[in-house]
Amino acid sequence: TMAGSYVEHASSSWAPMQDGPGSMDRAGSAKGALGSSSSQLQSANSCSYGNETILEEDGGSGGKKDNKDLLALGIGSEEVQDDVWSVPSQVLDLTADIGENSLQVKLFRYLQKLGNEFEALAGEHLKSIIRTLLAHHSIDSHEEWLDIIQETVTRAAANIDRLEMPGNAPQDPRDYIKVKRVGSGKPSDSYLVKGLVFSKNIAHRRMPSDIKSPKILLLGCAVEYERMQNRLSSVDILLEQEREHLRLSVARILQYRPTLIFVEKTVARNAQELLLQAGVTLVLKVKPSLMNHISRLTGSDIVQNLADIRPDNFGTCDHFYVKTFKLSPEEVALEGKLASKTKTLLFLDGCPYKAGCSIILKGSSLSSLLILKKIITFGVYAAYHHKIECKFLPLQCISAWNPASTVTSDKLVKGLRQSYDRVRDKNAGCEISISPFMLNTGSSREGGHRGHRESSDIGSFQHFFVSLASRCPSRGLLCEAPSVHDIAFYESSDVSLVRFLRAALPEPNRHCPHPRCGDGPSKHIRAYVSGNYCVTLTVKELADENALPGKEANVIWAWRQGPHEAAKDCIRVPMTLEAGQISLGIFLQYFFAAPTLKGPDGHRLNNDFACYFGIGKGIARFTCEKIKPLGVYLPPIPMTYNAEIDDKWLINEGSEVLSFCEDIFGRIENMIGRVKHKIKSSTSSSKEEYVKIKELEEEVKQERQSLEAFVSPKSRSLINFGELSQLKVFEMNRVRKKMVIFASSCISKTIYINDGLSAQTPGHSRQKSLLGNWLEQVRDDVLQNGSKGEAREKEDPSSQGLASKKSETADNLSISHASSSGRNANSKQSQSQSLQSMKSATDPIPHFKTLNTSALSWSGRFTLPQSTEEKVVAVYDDEPTSLIGYVLMSNQYHERLEELKQESLQKSVENMSTSSPSAGDQSNATSQDSAVTGSDTAKELILSEDTTHIRHSFEDFAKDGQSKVHFQVTVYYATQFQEIRRLFGKGDETFIHSLLRCKKWETKGGKSNAYFAKTLDDRFVVKQMSKTEISSFLTFAPSYFRYMNTKLDSTKERCCLAKIFGVYQVVIKHPSSAGGASKDIRLDVMIMENIFYAKAISRIYDLKGSIRSRYNAEPTASNAVLLDENLLEILPASPILVEQDARAKLERSMWKDTSFLAQLGVMDYSLLVGIDEINGELVVGIIDYIRQYTWDKQLETWVKSSGILGGAGKVPTIISPKQYMKRFRIAMMVYFTLVPSDEPPEDSLDPEAM
């Protein structure tokens, strides 16, 4: 259920210190143990979870030990400075002679004009509400009823004065109104009774039924004789005893000479006869609520014992009488009164206290009168609020007045009218709020949605949701954790402003009940959050000599301090007690939903001013700040791609290509220059040699010009937005490959000329020496510039792009490939094998073998066999994704993949045939086969449990140009992941495009030291998997595929899991001749989506719901990933405020996903959270969900729980999967503070539910 009333929030929070747990134990503190046993959720809409404590006793190693309580709202997180508590010396004296002071005269005139204007606007608003309701219900003669109802409800509201009632009387004005329907007459015959009218009759028809100024007695007890139990007596004696007892009882009543008695219970027949003889009118069996109503109206006390009757217990009214009305046939049929066709009403007219009234409705059909009764009841509710609002707001406007202001009263009134008109325009002329200055932001408590303005019950919209919290900045404690309250205006969940202030202001015996606090109200800050605003309440206790006057007379002072104003510029106004009866909920809604209400100087009356109230030594200060709750961004389905990001990394890649080509051209030209100089200086050189070197020089020049045209600004179609960008990366690889071939050709020709040979190939040793030395120099230069395997950023703007000329590059690529032997299409390996291997493509290109061209491509292997010349995939030894991309692009891989697909589909057909009644029918089998290979193919493949792994290996030359490097890639669940990529991404080609380049990602805060990388287009993350993790994943992978398949058709339940798009094993074996310079590599990696793609992330958290070893000691380091303790450290000052709907969406998704993981026995997962302040989003995704609960984890749990390794008493990081799920869920919901909206918050889910 929702939280309690404001009175409880205002007063019980500051009760004298008591033993026992405070509110922090209910809402969650930084002490305790996350995941300890607890009760169910304490509040359906609260951040608190029963007695569930939120965190462990202390931090883990390296963490902070003195954590502050979490979730305090950071608005006004520090104590208010003393200078804001200065009290204005200028006072509006409502008791002064207005002729004495010109300022007083001015203020009184302004106050009078404001009051008149507020009343006029309130009248218009009330009429608009009534007209809307009458029109909606299609009431006949609704124009006639409009004036009657408005006048009636206005008079009725005037007869309700809470100041004349006891403090425990209901606040809702509708509790003081009785509406009785009489189906005769016309609408104008309806009238108001200043008292009470109710359906009842007197006990005896001979009792007086018309009494002027009756003396009224209310009895809450019965007037009867109680016989003694277990005592034998004769009947005569018992009757005599009863008569005597009743005679004495009636005599005691009659000694005070009452004329009208209302009894809640019964009166014995003998007693009734005695009262009849005495001329006393008796009414029996009156309901308790009705007795209370009569008591308030007449001033009578309800006597619970005849012995307690006193002279001051009696009340009166002007006139008591009984009226009998003849029922119409419609009323008789409806009420089922077939025996009696009349209705008897008792009237208490002219009651001395303004505690309500009654309304007699006439002049329409019974069905219409039923609707009119509801309209009138709500009209009284609205009129009562208008009466109080017209007393409160004028004083508030005057309290915001600056005496130096030159604003005239006419301008002020005009501004007020403009504020009202703006609200009406925004509300589209349809009013559902009882205040004329509030926007229609409320929602129906019956489940209506925002803007549901045709509800027949406007009363259900008169409420709002607010999150309440209290904290002590000096102690760093959250004394009351945020909890959501449903505040219904003037109902039991609400209190008057004056009552709240008296409960909230400092008193000597008021202390915070938090066990680690105990300070008074002045040391605390309260925050009220709703929508996009936070109202902060602070209080101050003044010194005795500075106390405000009038406390004994219940004077409440009010003033407002505007921006850049000092207290001396403000006016202190005494607030009338009637104005103080305004609902606290309405007062807060002025901050949340009345932005157009302006003060005298044009500033927003509630949002731009600090609002002060003072009683004696206590001052309360309300301030309002705008907040921006975050939405929640879950991993999208399908994945999104951002053209601008693609363009950025393509430009960087193009710059690297340009630098690569320029470096090669420079070195080739340098070699040609040296050979040319040698020819000129040699006396034995021939003309033929000179011609050849000139031809080579011209060839290099033309090639350079071709490159310059390729990358010129006018033809930069290479760097392009959209899907063509995929082709551009392949195109750049083709440029690299061409340059490697071109360099090889130039080197060969230069060596040939240099050796002076005209018709033979240069010697191998000579070539190796010259080429090797030159390549070593080039490689060293490149490594020194830091360009090995990474994109370089060039300052020269002309190098920021490359243009496409496919025809030119294709024509110049003269490569002689040795055809590798293909796979026998008919050969099939046994289905029992878990790993499918393809024949290795190990045959190198003969031409390149003699020219050592592999050494040319030190930043990438471009000369490997390609599946197509249009799409060149380069392999970078230190970028495992490029190796995976090369394999996924190869023909051998695709051939084997298609075989595995057909095998899986054939199995599906066979299974269907086996289960089909007509399995032997050929036509039936054909139709089944067609069905499987049609629209259901994707589903069949993704749900297949076949271990469709593919292994592909090949070789290429090492850097020494002689030995070979062995490459091997194992693709796990190849067919299933291909469908995952097609359904959730954009298919294999887009995926490969991303894998072409990656870079190692150094993060601060992780503990595993595993290989971690991102693709250069920022779309995917590559993470190394341990042996245990790869084993776990291969076990539950089919369950993962089935679960992801369910998310394709899900519209409401999104998925928090960061999607995995492939799992691979990458092996690189270097030859022993490398001398240890190159290490062998064996990596098991998974490639998953980067949930922060295209997001402006300012902070990253990796959250597990534990604080054992969950602290990053370098939170300000570059790329720092912060952990749970880091978040708890900043939450008191900077809570993560999340929109209500977004938090509910996150909760639903998280519950579903964690339930799935717990069923698989998976644990140790994290919620990766990024704060995108630019887009106002909380970007989240569950990661690392590949570790199952195994025996080693069980052992770890036992060791940590036992305290053998220290930290005794703490809940271990590793617990059972179900316990982990529960702890994780609770913590995540506590970490993110719900900001309520107009809609009712959803009930919180059970953290233990599977």
Burial state string for 667-697 with b = 16 or more CB within 10 A and e = fewer than 16: bbeebbeebbeebeeeeeeeeebeebbeebb
At residue 239, does pLDDT exceed 50?
yes
Q: Which domain holds residue 335?
A: 196-227+234-355
Tokens read off for 1054: 């999104």
Across 319-341, average pLDDT: 76
C-alpha span between 131 and 124 (Å, rounded): 10
Q: In this predicted model, what pLDDT tens digit does every residue of 637-678 receive, in sequence order?
A: 888 888 788 777 777 777 777 777 888 888 888 888 887 777
pLDDT at residue number 343: 87
587 residue type, one letter: F
Q: In this predicted model, what pLDDT tens digit does every residue of 678-729 receive, in sequence order?
A: 777 776 666 777 788 788 888 888 887 777 666 554 444 444 434 445 556 7
Residue 170, helix vs strand vs coil: coil
Report the number of distinct structural domains present in the chain.
Answer: 4
At residue 779, does pLDDT exceed 50?
no
Mean pLDDT of the chain: 77
Same domain, 1067 and 1116: no
What is the reported pTM?
A: 0.78
- Indicate whether 1005 belongs to any domain: yes
Same domain, 975 and 1002: yes
pLDDT at residue number 145: 93
C-alpha span between 560 and 566 (Å, rounded): 10
At residue 190, does pLDDT exceed 90?
yes
Across 524-541, average pLDDT: 93
Query: Is the Cβ–Cβ distance between 372 and 344 less than 8 Å?
Result: no
DSSP assignment of 106-123 = HHHHHHHHHHHHHHHHHH
Across 796-818, average pLDDT: 31
At residue 31, does pLDDT exceed 80?
no
- Residue 54 host element (H or E): none
Across 264-285, average pLDDT: 95
CA distances (Å), origin 269, targets 225, 276, 287, 1100: 11, 10, 20, 81
- Range of lowest pLDDT (555-569, 702-716, 1192-1206): 1192-1206
At residue 845, does pLDDT exceed 60?
no
At residue 837, does pLDDT exceed 90?
no
Same domain, 1077 and 1166: no
Task: Give 1003's pLDDT tier (boundaries 50, 70, 90).
Answer: low
- Indicate whether 408 belongs to any domain: no
List phi, psi (to 5°) of 747.
-65, -45
714: left (phi over 0), alpha (psi -120 to 50) or beta: alpha
- Nearest to residue 360, comparing CAs of 195, 201, 211, 202? 195
Query: Is the Cβ–Cβ distance between 1111 and 64 less than 8 Å?
Result: yes
Across 297-306, average pLDDT: 95
**Boundary-marking domain end, from 796, 812, 828:** 812
Q: Please tell me which of 245-254, 563-572, 951-960, 1200-1209 the model is most confident about, judged by mean pLDDT.
A: 245-254
Longest dimension (CA), the chain: 162
C-alpha span between 151 and 149 (Å, rounded): 5
**Boundary-marking domain end, from 323, 355, 387:** 355
Same domain, 1072 and 1127: no
At residue 557, does pLDDT exceed 70?
yes
DSSP structure class, residue 327: P
Across 176-187, average pLDDT: 88
Same domain, 895 and 1039: yes
Across 1156-1175, average pLDDT: 94
- Indicate whether 211 belongs to any domain: yes
- Indicate whether 477 belongs to any domain: no
At residue 346, does pLDDT exceed 70?
yes
Task: Give 1069's pLDDT tier (boundaries 50, 70, 90).
Answer: very high
Q: Give the residue carrying structure tokens 């009330």.
A: 126
Q: In this predicted model, what pLDDT tens digit does every residue of 413-458 receive, in sequence order?
A: 888 888 888 888 877 756 678 988 887 765 444 444 444 334 446 7
DSSP structure class, residue 13: G
Across 809-821, average pLDDT: 31
pLDDT at residue number 936: 66
Distance of CA 612 to the CA centre of its chain: 32
Q: How far from each other are the two terminal CA atoms of the chain, in whole angstroms?
A: 23
Which residues touch 1070 (CB under 8 Å, ≥6 apart)?
A: 958, 965, 1078, 1079, 1080
**Count of C-beta atoms within a 10 Å radius of residue 376:** 24
CA distances (Å), origin 325, targets 24, 195, 342, 964, 1061: 60, 19, 5, 111, 80
C-alpha span between 852 and 858 (Å, rounded): 12
Same domain, 710 and 794: yes
Task: Give 212's pLDDT tier (boundaries 50, 70, 90).
Answer: very high
CATH number at residue 1180: 3.30.810.10
- Nearest to residue 799, comparing CAs of 620, 659, 702, 922? 659
Q: In this predicted model, what pLDDT tens digit does every residue of 609-641 receive, in sequence order?
A: 899 999 999 999 999 999 999 999 999 988 888
- Indicate whether 417 belongs to any domain: no
pLDDT at residue number 13: 45
CATH number at residue 890: 3.30.800.10
Helix axes 687-710, 643-681, angle to 10 degrees: 170
Q: Give the residue carrying structure tokens 């599946």.
A: 867
- Range of lowest pLDDT (477-486, 557-566, 698-707, 844-853): 844-853
pLDDT at residue number 444: 47
Residue 197, helix vs strand vs coil: strand
At residue 980, does pLDDT exceed 90?
yes
Same domain, 1078 and 1155: no
Same domain, 1077 and 1148: no
By percentage, how much of the chain surpasses pLDDT 70? 73
Q: In this predicted model, what pLDDT tens digit does every residue of 349-408 receive, in sequence order?
A: 999 999 999 999 998 788 888 899 999 999 999 999 999 999 999 998 888 877 777 677
pLDDT at residue number 497: 95
Peptide bond preceding 629 in cis form (omega within 30 of 0): no
Same domain, 1065 and 1149: no
Q: In this predicted model, what pLDDT tens digit does every residue of 1075-1121 receive, in sequence order?
A: 555 678 899 999 999 999 999 999 999 999 988 888 998 888 888 89
Sheet bearing 610-615, strands edge to edge: 90-91, 571-575, 556-561, 610-615, 618-626, 533-541, 525-530, 463-472, 477-488
pLDDT at residue number 430: 66
C-alpha span between 107 and 1189 (Å, rounded): 75
Across 808-825, average pLDDT: 32
Q: CB-based burial of residue 706 (10 Å sphere; 0-12 exposed, 13-18 middle, 19+ buried)? A: middle
Q: Please tell me which of 17-31, 766-780, 1053-1067 the model is most confident about, judged by mean pLDDT.
A: 1053-1067
By percentage, how much of the chain surpasses pLDDT 90? 41
Task: Give 1191's pLDDT tier (boundaries 50, 70, 90).
Answer: low
Query: Is the Cβ–Cβ distance between 856 and 775 less than 8 Å?
Result: yes
List phi, psi (to 5°) of 513.
-80, -5
Same domain, 1160 and 1205: yes
Same domain, 767 and 904: no
Q: Please tell me which of 171-185, 403-417, 562-576 the model is most confident about, judged by mean pLDDT.
A: 171-185
Kindly report the length of the chain. 1250
C-alpha span between 548 and 49 (Å, rounded): 43
**Count of C-beta atoms within a 10 Å radius of residue 554:** 11
DSSP assignment of 577-622 = TTGGGSBHHHHHHHHHH-TT-B-TTSSBTTTSSEEEEEETTEEEEE
- Indicate whether 989 belongs to any domain: yes
C-alpha span between 688 and 693 (Å, rounded): 9
Which residues touch 1191 (CB under 8 Å, ≥6 apart)?
A: none
pLDDT at residue number 240: 85
pLDDT at residue number 755: 67
C-alpha span between 723 and 716 (Å, rounded): 16
**Count of C-beta atoms within a 10 Å radius of residue 724:** 14
pLDDT at residue number 18: 33
Task: Give 761's pLDDT tier (boundaries 50, 70, 90).
Answer: very low
C-alpha span between 513 and 511 (Å, rounded): 6
Pairwise pLDDT comparison (723 vs 38), residue with the higher score: 723
**Count of C-beta atoms within a 10 Å radius of residue 19:** 6
- Nearest to residue 706, comparing CAs of 634, 842, 816, 809? 809
> CA Rg, the chain, in Å?
43
**Boundary-marking domain end, from 332, 355, 378:** 355
Distance of CA 815 to the CA centre of its chain: 58
- Indicate whether 1086 belongs to any domain: yes
- Range of lowest pLDDT (11-15, 110-114, 742-746): 11-15
What ranges make up the beta strands (E) of 995-1080? 998-1000, 1012-1015, 1020-1024, 1060-1069
Alpha helices (H) along 1000-1080: 1027-1046
Same domain, 1103 and 1082: no
- Indicate whether 1174 belongs to any domain: yes
List phi, psi (to 5°) of 66.
-110, 75
